[in-house]
Amino acid sequence: MKKLPDIKQDFSGWYNEVIYDSELVDHAPVKGCMVIRPYGYAIWENIKDVLDARIKATGHHNAAFPLLIPESFLKKEAQHVAGFAPELAVVTHAGGKELEEPLVIRPTSETIIHYMYARWLRSWRDLPIKINQWANIIRWEMRTRPFLRTTEFFWQEGHTAHETYDEAYEEVRIMLNEYSKLAQDYLAVPVFSGFKTAQERFAGADITTTIEGIMPDGKALQMGTSHLISQSFAHAFEMKYQDREGKESYPFLTSWGASTRLMGGLIMTHGDQKGLVLPPKIAPIQVVIIPIFKSGTDNSAVMNMAKSIQEDLRKDGVRTHIDDEESKTPGAKFFHWELKGVPLRIEIGPKDIEANQAVVVERIEAAKRFISLTNLKFEVISLLDMMQITLLERAQARVHQMRHQSNDLAEFGPTLENDGKFYQTSWCEKAECEAALKEYKASIRCIVDGLTYKTCFVCKEPSKKEVLVARSY
Amino acid sequence: MKKLPDIKQDFSGWYNEVIYDSELVDHAPVKGCMVIRPYGYAIWENIKDVLDARIKATGHHNAAFPLLIPESFLKKEAQHVAGFAPELAVVTHAGGKELEEPLVIRPTSETIIHYMYARWLRSWRDLPIKINQWANIIRWEMRTRPFLRTTEFFWQEGHTAHETYDEAYEEVRIMLNEYSKLAQDYLAVPVFSGFKTAQERFAGADITTTIEGIMPDGKALQMGTSHLISQSFAHAFEMKYQDREGKESYPFLTSWGASTRLMGGLIMTHGDQKGLVLPPKIAPIQVVIIPIFKSGTDNSAVMNMAKSIQEDLRKDGVRTHIDDEESKTPGAKFFHWELKGVPLRIEIGPKDIEANQAVVVERIEAAKRFISLTNLKFEVISLLDMMQITLLERAQARVHQMRHQSNDLAEFGPTLENDGKFYQTSWCEKAECEAALKEYKASIRCIVDGLTYKTCFVCKEPSKKEVLVARSY
């Protein structure tokens, strides 16, 4: 059977094969787009379900705004159009005719949503407005990789309007925290939370906050962002309302989004030489049951036992699958489900039934455990819980090892590219010092709390902000 | 307060106002597109949840295929492109450059999905392929109305491939039956199931089956279709596989879809002069609780009782909302929630608490019931169940009254336009007889079982098929 590229020597090659071999995704006939196959989509659905429930629990409602946006809308906010213009896909013809005004496919929906909010907002009583949409987005990217950067991707985008700056800022913080919990508690991907520098902010935001995961190659992956949007949007779309004092006011706006990129972070963080490793909480199949058939005999007892184990696990909400295909050997099945990252495998054959046991193999450690059928459900659920914790701890330990401190770019810069290291350092807040990172294809991923060094990592002038520096996806 | 147009005199005007006034939808700044507002989207989410669960229970998996399709793909199947070419929205520029080949925004996804299936299908062991996607669709329609016909709409489209004709045909039948159950058991909209004539088939289908609802104005609404796709698609996309005999074969294909149009059917079927009437099973709010405050006194006992009722109902999964806004009178609240079609209203004031009761008002009959707080939950759940049944029965009775039989178009044709009637009749199967309906702006909505008359309703030659004839949305 085909082997994946060496994950240590060729991480990028490994990623580019494992996503296809495990049937998460396939090449689409349109450049830079992806087809998310059923197995990949089932993971995305699990992620969506978790996040959607949290979005609703924090007081937001889903809605749907149009895919197509008049080109003139994007031009209403100067920074915004500058940021997105190079990436737009434009509809010029429709219904057999040339359109009077071209329509762009949404690269994000601030403009059209703000246009609608301006229609709906009359009084302070209409605030806050807290709406989310799950949508497809098009950004015409030059260099694409499935999940990490694609021309079309899937995301949720929340857009809110508030009476006060403090309330909007609190919203930004709450939703970033939701992203952080999603990443850590469900995807088992440790992340750093912090502010983006002015240079790295969303086009048109006053504040951009981010969660950044550190992948095994040392590169950072931005996995969710939450913005305090400039009030210039509210002005551009004439989003006026009568405030509590009866005066005309403009609301404070936020937006926040997380996308199918989360899938990329998940794959890279946990995968190994055998393939994907999926955290139990979001795995479409948590337990695969493989009946071991003996050729030339009646295998119905084995099959019945497999079904009975499945029924019992299902009652407790464990997502299971029985692989009873007869044209494949057990070995080929083990290989297949390891590649697909299923957390637990149960093998059950005639001898196991005689011994009132099953063989249980957990995806990370891969040692065979012989577990009494009487305790099977309890042990399976414990192992799944344990694996969820282990995956996060293992990833945290790796990130901890890769994290270094230094206050001299000349010293640490050359190690950024190939040594799988990232740095915490201190910065003077000047754009030219930040720009010096370009030489090493790196950037400030986020501003975090604290101040380790007294001087800037570039200019040696007094430092003001603590930053994480890394290359990135 | 503003009144809706008279639903009997001006049904169309009523529809066009109720959808905006009840905040289901709003005008979008792009012609023919709609913004689905949170209340409307919550109904759509409930419909989606029901249908998605059934799609999965019948063995299908969700996936995601690209929004953009190379223009050449649509041209591969002659009938298909002829059907969709006039409605396409075309991306000619992206990333600041003119594209070498224009991309169309999917008007439906057969072509791109069949292209992928051809890549995935090698052997009979790969069959059946049973995939669904929830997606947005663009068809550049000239005359649009929210939910009923919009430039962008939302739907699910299932696409399957099978070894045999019989298996594909069975799939077509199963999914049509799912649509019928969704319409009747959840939306409480009675529908007729049947075949489309050759003239009315999906562009490129050998068989199109449909569910048709009959609206209060006598017009039919096509609410879901399930197709056996021509094998010419399989040939056009070279979807070959090795069959059980080792020979090269082409699969039999189906596709089936239901869209946000279902919302239109729901609104028109149940609405009344006061506004929407939502079937409890898909209502975002099933029970609105209105605390009756007495000004100048401490209302905390009333508010606490409202909360306690809410808690109790929530435990049984009843979706509730407390309207405790202090700036509105109870009367204004009643009006508001009736407009929004909430199935049940509970009023609770100081006197009710003294009498250990609550006032319950059901949306259809609107009579006040005084129900003991002790029995409240039980009664509320019974009333919701009853209302779900009553809505379907009421709609069935209406449709029954509107249904007439006749075998003479000259006689019944003139009654099709304004009398709120539709007809069951018998047809010779000739296209020119079918075309005679155009004079009355009507069409054959579906072919059903039976044969009432011996002669065709137009040419009087021997009849072969029983058909339902109506105008349509």
**Token reading at B26:** 């709003």
Q: Give phi and psi for A99, each to the nearest 5.
A: -75, 150
Determine the distance from the C-alpha atom of residue A415 to the mean position of all C-alpha atoms in its chain, rounded to a whole number: 27
**Token reading at A429:** 């807040």
ipTM entry: 0.96
Distance (Å, whole) CA B359 – CA B370 = 5
Across A352-360, average pLDDT: 96
| Closest residue in chain B to residue A87, using alpha carbons only | B95
In sequence order, the 6+-apart residues with CB closer than 8 A to the CB of B386 are none
Among B232, B281, B241, B300, which residue's Cα sits nearest to residue B381? B281
Question: What average pLDDT does chain B have?
Answer: 96
| Closest residue in chain A to residue B45, using alpha carbons only | A62
Q: Does B364 touch chain A (CB under 8 A)?
A: no
Across B58-78, average pLDDT: 94
Among B459, B35, B424, which residue's Cα sits nearest to residue B260? B35
pLDDT digits (tens, 9 = 90+) for A61-98: 999 999 999 999 998 888 888 888 899 999 999 999 99
Distance (Å, whole) CA B349 – CA B367 = 18
Q: Give phi and psi for A420, each to the nearest 5.
A: 65, 35
Question: What average pLDDT does chain A have?
Answer: 96
For residue A296, the tally of other CB atoms under 10 A from its CB is 6
The single-letter DSSP state of residue A108 is S
pLDDT digits (tens, 9 = 90+) for B294-312: 888 889 999 999 999 999 9
Residue B121 has pLDDT above 80, yes or no: yes
Q: Give residue A44's pLDDT.
A: 98
Check CB contact under 8 Å for B29 and A103.
no
Peptide bond into A350 cis (omega under 30): no
Residue A266 has pLDDT above 70, yes or no: yes
Minimal Cα–Cα distance from A44 to chain B, Å? 10
Across A199-224, average pLDDT: 96
Minimal Cα–Cα distance from A91 to chain B, Å? 4
pLDDT band at A418 (very low <50, low <70, confident <90, very high): confident
Check CB contact under 8 Å for B91 and A90.
yes
Q: What does each C-alpha distance from A368 to A294, A365, A427, A472, B311 come to in angstroms?
A: 20, 9, 51, 38, 48
Which residues in chain A touch residue B30, judged by CB atoms under 8 angstroms apart? 66, 68-70, 103
pLDDT digits (tens, 9 = 90+) for A444-454: 999 999 999 99
For residue B240, the tally of other CB atoms under 10 A from its CB is 15
pTM assigned to the model: 0.96
Distance (Å, whole) CA A52 – CA A82 = 31
Distance (Å, whole) CA B189 – CA B186 = 8
Does B296 or A466 have the greater pLDDT score? A466
Minimal Cα–Cα distance from B366 to chain A, Å? 29
Q: Give residue B2's pLDDT.
A: 79
Set out the domains of chain A in order of their start, with CATH numbers: 11-270 (3.30.930.10), 285-385 (3.40.50.800), 403-470 (3.30.110.30)
Q: Which of residues 136-165 of B touch A (CB under 8 A)?
A: 136, 138, 140, 142, 152, 154
Q: Give residue A230's pLDDT.
A: 85
Residue B1 has pLDDT above 70, yes or no: no
**Option in A42, A96, A327 nearest B86 (CB):** A96
Q: Does A92 touch chain B (CB under 8 A)?
A: yes
Across A424-441, average pLDDT: 97
Q: Give residue B72's pLDDT.
A: 93
State the distance between the two ends of chain B, measured CA to CA, in whole angstroms: 31
Q: Give residue A1's pLDDT.
A: 64
Minimal Cα–Cα distance from B41 to chain A, Å? 5
State the distance between the two ends of chain A, measured CA to CA, in whole angstroms: 31
Across B453-465, average pLDDT: 97
